């Protein structure tokens, strides 16, 4: 049977990583696009060199590591800078995802989960057999963003506003995980979806 490649996406504070972690606990392989983007910033990489050329020490932290908070402020305060960053980082991430998928598929994995925060924004959804959207209320999303990224409410709202509305993502989803409650409620939904995967009932298309 062909390996099923399933994307997990959602809003900035909806709990994508929590859901991905639960899939890992159930034995599935997860590829994290954010982690690959962070690796692209390692000192001496091609991406790092382009960032240093454009911003110099303005985005450099200790030991020439990229200061991701400084980079984030640049990206979210200026649309042109955000587009520049996307144009140099996204191709690297896409290539790494494809490389990892090929390796895991060759090893016989039946399902591979790929966590991609900006899946719809960058138009990658057609590269996957199915899409899972993780959602919660806007108030909860803002609250989690403030805590996770140490942001003011205004800055959290600004960052969330740069992404496709969560309601639009849900319309495009093959499955939706409600992460507005406690972890146990989320776990029940993830395990239910996992059982559908293992019995060949998710995704329904392409069987």
pLDDT, one tens digit per residue, over 6-23 is 999 999 999 999 999 999
The three-state DSSP-derived secondary structure of the chain is CCCEEEEEEECCCCCHHHHHHHHHHCCCEEEEHHHHHHHCCCCCCHHHHHHHHHHHHHHECHHHCECHHHHHHHHHHCHHHHHHHHHHHHHHHHHHHHHHHHHHHHCCCCEEEEECCCCCCCCCHHHCCEEEEEECCHHHHHHHHHHHHCCCHHHHHHHHHCCCCHHHHHHHCCEEEECCCCHHHHHHHHHHHHHHHHCCCCCCCCC
Residue 206 has pLDDT above 70, yes or no: no
pLDDT, one tens digit per residue, over 81-123 is 999 999 999 999 999 999 999 999 999 999 999 999 999 999 9
Widest Cα–Cα separation across the chain: 53
Q: Pick the more confident residue, 63 or 44.
A: 44
Residue 207 has pLDDT above 50, yes or no: no
pTM: 0.92
pLDDT, one tens digit per residue, over 140-163 is 999 999 999 899 999 999 999 999
For 110-147, give one letter per residue: b (16+ CB within 10 A) or e.
ebbbbbbbbbbbeebbeebbbbbbbbbebebbbebbbe
Fold of 4-198: Rossmann fold (3.40.50)
pLDDT, one tens digit per residue, over 47-85 is 999 999 999 999 998 888 999 989 988 888 899 999 999
Banded model confidence at residue 37, pLDDT cuts 50, 70, 90: very high
């Amino acid at each position: 049977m062909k390996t099923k490649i399933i994307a997990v996406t959602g809003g900035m504070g909806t709990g994508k990583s929590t859901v991905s972690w639960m899939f890992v606990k159930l034995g599935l392989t997860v590829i994290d696009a954010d982690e690959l983007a962070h690796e692209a910033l390692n000192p001496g990489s091609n991406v790092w060199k382009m960032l240093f050329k454009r911003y110099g020490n303005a985005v450099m932290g200790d030991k020439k590591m990229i200061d991701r908070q400084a980079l984030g402020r640049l990206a979210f305060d200026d649309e042109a800078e955000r587009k520049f960053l996307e144009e140099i980082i996204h191709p690297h991430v896409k290539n790494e995802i494809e490389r990892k998928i090929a390796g895991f598929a060759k090893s016989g994995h039946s399902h591979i989960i790929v966590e991609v925060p900006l899946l719809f924004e960058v138009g990658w959804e057609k590269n996957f057999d199915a899409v899972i959207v993780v959602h919660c209320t806007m108030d909860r999303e803002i609250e989690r963003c403030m805590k996770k990224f140490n942001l003011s409410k205004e800055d959290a709202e600004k960052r969330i506003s740069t992404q496709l509305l969560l309601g639009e993502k849900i319309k495009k989803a093959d499955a939706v995980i409600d992460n507005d409650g406690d972890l146990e409620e989320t776990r029940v939904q993830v395990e239910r979806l996992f059982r559908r995967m293992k019995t060949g009932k998710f995704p329904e298309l392409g069987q």
